[in-house]
Amino acid sequence: MTRSLIDHTKTESTKTEPGLCPDCETDTIVHDPDRGERVCKECGLVLTEDPIDYGPEWRAFNAQEHDELSRVGAPLTQSMHDRGLTTTIDWRNKDANGHSMSADKHGQLHRLRVWQERIRTKNAGERNLKYALSEIDRMVSALGVPKPVKETASVIYRQALEQDLIRGRSIEGVATSALYTACRKEDIPRSLEEVTSVSRVDQREIGRTYRYIADELDINLEPTNPRQFVPRFCSELDVDKDVETKAVEIIDETTQQGLHSGKSPTGFAAAAIYAAGLLCDETIPQRAVADTAQTTVVTVRNRYREQLEAIDQAPA
């Protein structure tokens, strides 16, 4: 076997790797990036050399160069009915050099775009899936939730479609329910009322479809913690950080007592913010808190009194 002594001046650039040396049976195997070798630091045995580099043969020094030199397309996505595998024709009537095309070319490109859209969907099932995923994309944009939520919602809708859970239900209702389920799975605080506000179906249908899909797909979700809504509500109300901290403390203490059981998490969070404002001597109108949480003033009033009594604070 080939042996090589390790230069002790380069030990800082080496990285210890798991495994035992077959020669001296010590766990001092390191990776030498300068030589591209895995070497035993104790006896100098070279275990592997000249590894295959699966990276690109070019170097990029900024993001623009990386995009220009890259020869791969966009990754697969579940949020498109064809998973992003088909090509698209740009809407701009310009050639590769950025020059405008003639009128005849404009008409030809228009016909190509029409046929491109037609061949992307083979049957009614794909057309329905395309419409549902476009609805999810629209609602995600309106709610301002991150991209992973859209991917999760698309996967949930595809699973519901494969198990024939769409039959007898509207596409919009199932798509909205999938999005609400995805928000809860990804711990993104969006209430059912907020999701309903950007949907094309009513809240009753969304709630009924959500429970049906979660049960059929065996999706077990923990109850929503009211404290998830506190940072966003406090940001919209523009209150001090002390109020936000106090509201979280109120929620933690009252939820340990089980006071939140059976109550709306958004209303419970709104009441905690109002109660925290009273304890921190900051005036927050009940109407403003209720409108931010999309709940009623009566709910805020009842909940905050219960919370103050639970933490042994006399309500004002």
Per domain, the residue ranges of the chain are 22-50, 124-217, 226-313
How many Å apart are CA 154 and CA 77, to the nearest integer? 9
pLDDT of residue 314: 56
- pLDDT attached to residue 181: 95
E strands of the chain, at which residues?
A: 15-16, 29-32, 37-40, 46-49
Whole-number Å distance between alpha carbons of 6 and 30: 10
Helix (H, G, I), strand (E, B) or coil at 72: coil
Binding residues: 21, 24, 40, 43
| Integer-rounded Cα radius of gyration of the chain | 29
Residue matched to tokens 């035993």: 40
pLDDT < 50 regions, the chain: 1-13
CATH 3.90.1200.10 assigned to domain 124-217? The reply is: no
User: According to the model, what pLDDT value does residue 18 have?
Assistant: 65
pLDDT tens for 210-258 read: 999 999 999 988 888 899 999 999 999 999 999 999 999 999 999 998 8
Annotated binding site for Zn(2+): 21, 24, 40, 43
Could you tell me the strand order of the sheet in which 15-16 lies? 15-16, 29-32, 37-40, 46-49
| Domain 226-313 in CATH 1.10.472.10 | yes
Same-fold call for 124-217 versus 226-313: yes
